Structure 1
Amino acid sequence: MGKLTGFIDIKREKPQEIHAGERISHWEEYLMPTGEPALKDQAARCMDCGTPFCQMGSDLGRSTSGCPLYNLIPEWNELVYQGKWHEAYLRLIKTNNFPEFTARACPAPCEGSCTAGVVSEPVAIKSIERAIIDKAFEEGWATPRKPLKRTGLKAAVIGSGPAGLAAADELNQAGYDVTVLERDDRFGGLLMYGIPNMKIEKKVVERRIRLLEQEGIQFKGNVNVGVDVTMEELRKIYDAVILCTGAGKHRELDVEGRGLSGIYPAMTYLTGSTKHLLNEESGEPAITAKDKHVIVIGGGDTGADCVATALRQGCKSIVQFGKHGELPKERGADNPWPEPPDVYTLDYAYAEAKETFGSDPRQYQINTTEFLGDQEGHVRELGTVALELESGENGKKQYRENESKKQNWDADLVLIAIGFEGAEDDVFENIGVEASFNQIKADNKTYQTNLDGVFAAGDARRGQSLIVWAIQEGRKAAESVDRYLREKHSKKKVDVG
C-alpha cells in the first residue's frame, strides 16, 4: 500500500492557504490547490493497515469515527500514489455522491481515525479527496450518467441539501422520475446558504445541480410544501416522497434583553450575507457587521463561519464565547484513538481574526446573562459571568458560575450560534408527520414515517449532524424507497393477475 514506510519517511503537509490578511478582502475559497507531486507523497503515507479505521463510519464516544459513507480511502490513496487519477475517481464515486462537497465541508473524522495518526500524523485524506474530484471535473470525467431505462414511477424529494440531493441522485440512477422541491430560490440547502462562500464556493454547488439536471432530475424552487402544495396533493402525484427538510430550528438564548434589535440567530445572518453576495446587490446586506463590535455566542463551526463573515464585512471587533474550556494541545485520556482528536486548533476564521486584531477571538468558560440596549432598543452591551469547573457531590465535573467574575462587553451585533433543536415546527404542523424529540419520526431501518409512502432522511430525521451522515441517510432512504416501490408494484401485478 503506497510506500511501506511512507508514514515514517514523509511528513504530513497541510494544504496551502491564501494568507489570512489577504483572503479577508474577498469571498473566494481560502484553500489553494496542492500540486500532484505533493499529493502523491501524501498518498504514499497511507499504511497497509489490517483494519482501515478511516472508513468504518460509526458513532464512538462523543463523536463520529471514520467515514459514514464507508469511502474506499486506502484504495484511492493507492491509485493516486500510482498516478491513476481516473481510476481513483471511479473508486471515490462508488460510495460518495458529492466528493466536492465533503472535501470542503466535512470535518474529516476519517483523518481522526487514521491508523498512521497513532504513531505519527494522519494521512491528508481530505486534501487527496478534493484533488481527485477537482481533477475529475477539470478533465471532463464527471459527465452526466443517465439510467438505461425508467420505471415509470415518480418520487418527490423535499429539500435540496446533502441528504435530499443524495436521495434524488440514487433514485434517479435507479430509474425513477425524480423531482426536488425546495422552498428557497436556489438549490443546495445549507451548502448554498448556510456555509459561507470562502469554505465552499457556490459555483461548485451550482455545477453539481446542473449535472443532476442533465441526468434527468427536475428541480423546482420557491415551493414551500405544506403551504404552496399540500402533502395530500404530493402523495397523489408521486409514488413516494422523501422529507429532507433539515434541522433548521435554532436553539434560543433565553436571557434578559433578548428582544433588543441587533441580536440574530447565526443562520439568519449567514444566509442573508450569502444571498446578498450572490445577488450582487448594491449597498450593505440587511444584517451587516461593518464598523460594529460583534459577539458570537457558541463555539462550533457555525460560530467560526460567523467570525469569518464578520471579518470580511469589516467589523470593528470580534469575540466568540464558549461555555467550555480551551481544548488541550494533545489528546486526553478520555479521548482515545480512534475517536477524532478533541484538541486545540486554529481554524481558518480564528487565524484570520488573529491576523486582523492580534489575538484568537475565542473566550472560554463564559455564560451570557443579559443584553443591554440603548434608548432606541438596540443592543449595545452584553453581560457575562465566568464559569469554573468543579467536582459535584457524585464526583462528576460540572461548571459553576463565579459571581465575582462578571463582565460587560461592547456589542452592536450579537449572533447566537448554539446549535439547532431539530426540524422546524411547520414541518409537523403543515405536513402531518409525527415528531420524536423535534425530529421527524421515521423507522431506523426503512426510514418510513407514519404516512404510507412518505420517508425522511438527513438532519430532519437524525438531528444536526455531519454532511457525511446526511449523504448516507439520503442514500439509505432512497434504497428503502426503491425496495418499497418494487414490492408495492410487484404486489399490484399479482393482484391484477
Structure 2
Amino acid sequence: MASRMLKFVKVQRQMPHKREVAARAHDFDEIYDDFSTPSAAEQASRCSQCGVPFCQVHCPVHNNIPDWLMLTAEGRLEEAYEVSQATNNFPEICGRICPQDRLCEGNCVIEQSGHGTVTIGAVEKYINDTAWAEGWVKPVRPAREREQSVGIVGGGPAGLAAAEQLRKKGFQVTVYDRYDRMGGLMIYGIPNFKLEKEVVERRTKLLAEAGVAYVPNCDVGRDVSLEELRRRHDALLLATGVYKARDIKVPGVGLDNVRPALDFLVASNRKGLGDAVPAFEDGTLNAEGKDVVVIGGGDTAMDCVRTAVRQGARSVKCLYRRNRQNMPGSQREVANAEEEGVEFVWLAAPEAFDGDTTVETVRACRVHLGVPDATGRQLPQILPDSSFSLPADLVIKALGFDPEDLPALFGCPELETTRWGTVKVRYPSLATNLDGVYAAGDIVRGASLVVWAIRDGRDAADSIARYLDNKTAGASATAVAAE
C-alpha cells in the first residue's frame, strides 16, 4: 500500500481540466472534464490513509473514502465502485454537486497540513461514471419479494434513496410526486452545468428497473388524500422537500420581474429538457439581454447567477448582506461565478425595488457586520445614509426555502409539525406521530444538501423495515396464539 499511497508530498493537487470561461459561459454543459485513468490514480494516491479519516467522519453518509481512494490508486476500479456505492445511493451525483470544500475535502488531513486536499469529489465522479460506462451498475434484485408495500411521497433524493434501500429488502415501493419527472430538485432545481440531467434520469430509470413504481403528476391532498395512501400501503414516508420560497418585505416586491429563484431555475431546466415553457419564451423568466440582480448568498443564488450568464444577460450582480467569508454557499461556486463575469456586491441589502409596473432599479443600502449572535454569525447592521441603486430588468430572490403547510396541504391536521413548519419526528427512527408514517430529508431538517437527504432516506428505510418486520412478527404471534 505504501508504495502506491502517501504521495501527497511529491504529487500536487490537481482537479480535472476546467473548460475555459469563453466556452463554458455560453452553454449548459458540465464545466469539468473527466479525469483520465492515470490522473485519477495519481490523485487518489495522494491520500494519507490516516488512522482517523476526518473525510469520512464529515461525510453525511460516511463514505469509506480512504478505501476507495486506495483501490483507485491500485487500478481496482470495480472494487472501488462497490465500496463507493455501499454507503451512497447516488455517488455519481454527489461527486458532482456535494460541496466537498465544506465536507470531506474541507476536513482532509493533508489539506490541514498545507499540502492541498485530495480531490475526493472528482475521483468519486470518475469511479462511478466508469462503473456506468462499464456496465457494473445493476438494478437491485432482492433475495426475496415481500408482500408489504411502502408509499413514498416525494421523488427527490431522500425518497429515491429510501426506495432503493426498501427494494433491496424486497418491499413493494411506490413513489408519488407532484411533478412529471422523478428527481425533485436534482432534475428541476440544479442547473445542467453542475449536474447534467441524463445523470439523474439514468438513475431513476435504474430504480424503475429494480421494481420501484412511479406515480408522477400526483399532488397529494388534491389527487389523492394522505389517508387514502395510508390505507393503500403498509407504511408511508413523507419526503416532500421544502419548496416554499422565502420572501423579503420591502417596497416594490410585487413588481413584475421580481421572481423567486425556483421559478427561474425550473423554467431554465425545463427548457433544457425540451419542454414548452411559455414564461421563458415570452421573456419573463429569460435573462437574455437583461440587467439581472440576484439577492442571496447560498448555492441557489450561485445557480441563478451562473444560469443568467449562460442565458446571455447584459450584466449579472449578486447582492449579499454579508461578506464573502460568511457566505453559506460553496466557495468553489463563488469562484466559478466570478470567473464567468458575475459581480458580487458584498455587505449590501435591498431597500426597495423601484419602478412603475416593472422593476427598473434595486435600491440598496450598505451593511456593517456587528457582534456575533447566539449562532456565532455576525449580525448585519444597516449603515445610515448609505443608499445606492443598481439597474435591474430582472430581480431573482434566492433567499432560501421553507416547508409548505403539510397538514393543511394533505388534509391531515393531526400530523404534528414543529414551530418551523417541518414535520415533527422521533429520533432516531424518523417516525411521525401517525402510526406507520415516517418523514425524511428537508421536510424534517429544513433546506439542506442532497447528501443529507440521502442519509435521511437510508435511515428512514431502515426504520420502516424494522416497523414492518415487527408488524409481521406481531401478526404471526397473534395467529399462533389463536390456534
Q: State TM-score, norm by structure 2.
A: 0.93
> Whole-Å Cα distance in 1 between the matches of residues 378 and 318 of structure 2?
24
Q: Does 1:363 align with 2:357?
A: no
What amino acid does structure 1 have at the position aligned with 2:120? I
Task: Write out aligned runs for 1:291-370 (5 A).
Answer: 291-327=289-325, 346-353=334-341, 360-370=342-352
What CA distance in whole angstroms lies between the structure 1 residues aligned with 2:120 and 2:465? 32
Matching of residues 152-163 of structure 1 within 5 Å: 152-163=147-158
The separation in 2 between residues aligned to 1:100 and 1:326, in whole angstroms, is 29
Aligned: 1:425 with 2:405: yes
Structure 2 residue identity aligned to 1:81 = A
Gaps of 5+ in 2: none
Q: Distance in 1 between matches of 2:339 and 2:377?
A: 34
Counterpart AA for 1:117: E
Task: Indicate the SS of the match to 1:403.
Answer: coil
Q: 1:121-136 maps to which residues of 2 (within 5 A)? A: 121-136=116-131
For residue 202 of structure 1, the aligned residue among 178, 197, 204 is: 197
Counterpart in the other structure of 1:232: 227
Q: In 2, Cα distance between the equivalents of 1:255 and 1:435?
A: 29
Q: Structure 1 vs Structure 2: percent identity of aligned residues?
A: 38
Please name the residue that 2:355 is paired with: 373
Q: Distance in 2 between matches of 1:107 and 1:48?
A: 22
Match of 2:31 in 1: 30
- Report the equivalent of 1:415: 396
> How many angstroms apart in 2 are the aligned matches of 1:216 and 1:114?
38
TM-score, with normalisation over the residues of structure 1? Answer: 0.90
> Residue 178 of structure 1 aligns with which residue?
173
Determine helix, strand or coil for the equivalent of 2:55: helix
Q: Which deviates more from structure 2 when the two are superposed, residues 163-172 or residues 439-448?
A: 439-448
SS at match of 1:195: coil
Mark the CA change 1:427 to 1:26 in structure 2 (over 3 Å): closer, same or farther.
farther
Q: 1:319 touches 1:361 (CA, 8 Å); kept in 2?
A: yes
Q: Residue in 2 aligned with 1:478?
A: 461
Q: What's the secondary structure of 2:410's corresponding residue? A: helix
Q: Which amino acid counterpart does residue 303 of structure 1 have in structure 2?
A: A
Rounded to whole Å, the distance in 1 between the matches of 2:309 and 2:69 is 36
Change (3 A) 1:140 1:285: farther
- Contact 1:307–1:350 (CA<8 Å) still a contact in 2? no
The equivalent of 1:106 in structure 2 is 98
Superposed CA RMSD in Å reads 2.2
CA contact (8 A) 1:304 1:350 kept: no
Does residue 217 (structure 1) correspond to residue 197 (structure 2)? The answer is no
SS in 2 for 1:232: helix
Distance in 2 between the 1:382 and 1:49 partners? 51
**Residues 6 and 49 in structure 2, CA contact (< 8 A), matched pair in contact too:** no
The one-letter amino acid paired with 1:402 is: L
Deviates more, 1:282-291 or 1:211-220: 282-291
Q: Which residue of 2 aligns with 1:454?
A: 437
Equivalent residue letter for 2:233: Y
1:86 maps onto 2:78 in alignment: yes
Deviation at 1:131, TM superposition (A): 0.3
Q: Which amino acid aligns with 2:365?
A: V
Matches of 1:204 and 1:397 in 2, distance apart? 39
Q: Contact 1:172 / 1:178 at 8 angstroms: preserved in 2?
A: yes
Shift in alpha-carbon separation, 1:347–1:44, aligned structure 2, 3 A: same
Residues 67/490 of structure 1: CA separation in 2 closer, same or farther (3 Å cut): same
CA distance in 2, matches of 1:427, 1:162: 22
Moved more, 403-412 or 80-89: 403-412
Deviation, structure 1 residue 367: 1.0
Paired residue for 1:193? 188
Shift of the 251–392 alpha-carbon distance from structure 1 to 2, 3 Å rule, reads closer
Contact kept? 2:140, 2:167, Cα under 8 Å: no
Report the counterpart of residue 428 of structure 2 in structure 1: 445
Question: Helix, strand or coil: the match of 1:439?
Answer: coil
Deviation at 1:293, TM superposition (A): 0.7
Q: Which residue of 2 aligns with 1:76?
A: 68
Q: Helix, strand or coil: the match of 2:385?
A: strand
Q: Shift of residue 161 of structure 1?
A: 0.7
* Distance in 1 separating the partners of 2:223 and 2:383: 51
Whichever residue aligns with residue 21 of structure 1, its letter is A
Shift of 1:341: 12
Does structure 2 conserve the Cα–Cα contact (< 8 Å) formed by 1:272 and 1:285?
no
* Gaps in structure 1 of 5+ consecutive residues: 57-65, 329-339, 354-359
Code of the residue aligned with 1:420 in structure 2: it is F
| Other structure's SS at 2:464 match | helix
CA deviations 1:38-70 (Å, max 9, x no partner) are: 1111111100211001111xxxxxxxxx10111
Partner of 1:496: 479
Distance 1:6 1:220, change over 3 A: same
**1:431–1:266 distance in 2 versus 1, CA, 3 Å:** same
